[in-house]
Chains A and B, each alone.
Chain A
Amino acid sequence: MLWLLIGLMILILFVLLRAIIGPTVIDRLLSINAISTKVSVIILLMAFIRDDYGFIDVAFVFVLCGFVGGLWILRVMTPGDWQLRLPGLGGFEGEGEEAASND
């Protein structure tokens, strides 16, 4: 069980490397999300390694806090409403006939 914990720590280093070199803001958000998931699994494993099962509640709260923090970052990143209108995608346009067939 301890080797899974050490392996997850090494994987966290690689995900952090992607967060540092990531070209867009989506890569960094994605890396935050992946690191949060891996740290939650590490907390659960630590509860079972040390026979101290109160850490399960810590993992519960950690998951909820990570979710709320990610939602807050997304809300700051995209002001306005969350209606996804395909032709006006802020610089991204499709093949051309999709925009023409819009009614």
Chain B
Amino acid sequence: MIRFLANLCFAGSFLAFAIGTLGLFRLPDPYTRLHAVGMGDTMGVGLAGLGLLLVSPTWALRIKLLTVFVLFWTINPTMTHLVAKAGLIHGVRPAEGTKVIKGEG
């Protein structure tokens, strides 16, 4: 039963990774590709982590895995944000028809 649930989580994880990679080829713009890959990778890592938590034998391993996944969920959105900001500073253009929403700064 536990193995079945873990395999279900792994299937969802592979689906999320595959949808992120599909978006990498279908979307028109580096920023939209960044969005697709950030979403897909975060969801895929979360589901794979849930499956690995289900099949891990001891509690010490579960605590170590949780540390790794908290690190993932902190680093992955930070890296996505920084890459998008560096692209704007570097001068990569968005797709045609993109509107700039001006912030307070």
Q: Which residues does A use to contact B, with CB under 8 Å? A: 1, 3-4, 7-8, 11, 14-15, 18, 24-27, 29-31, 33-34, 37-38, 40-41, 44-45, 48, 53, 56-57, 59-60, 63-64, 67, 70-71, 74, 77-78, 80, 82, 84, 86, 89-92, 94-95, 98, 101-102
* CB-based contact B89/A37 at 8 Å: no
Chain B contacts for A45, CB-based, 8 A: 48, 52
Question: Among the listed A63, A74, A82, A84, which residue makes an inter-chain contact with B71, where contact means beta carbons less than 8 Å apart?
Answer: A63
**How many of chain B's residues have a CB under 8 angstroms from any CB in A?**
53
Which chain A residue shows the least CB distance to B100? A94
Q: Is A84 in contact with B105, judged by CB distance below 8 angstroms?
A: yes
CA distance A90 to B100 in the complex (A): 14
Residue of B nearest to A90 (CB): B91
Q: Interface on chain B toward A: helix, strand, loop, or mixed SS?
A: helix
Residues of B within 8 A of A (CB): 6-7, 10, 13-14, 17-18, 20-21, 24-25, 30-31, 33-34, 37, 41, 44-45, 48, 52, 55-56, 61, 64-65, 67-68, 71-72, 75-76, 78-80, 82-94, 99-100, 102-103, 105
Distance between Cα atoms of A44 and B71 in the complex (Å): 14
5 further contact pairs, Cβ within 8 A, besides A70-B83, A84-B105, A94-B100: A44-B65, A53-B61, A67-B78, A86-B103, A92-B91
- Does the CB pair A30–B68 fall under 8 Å? no
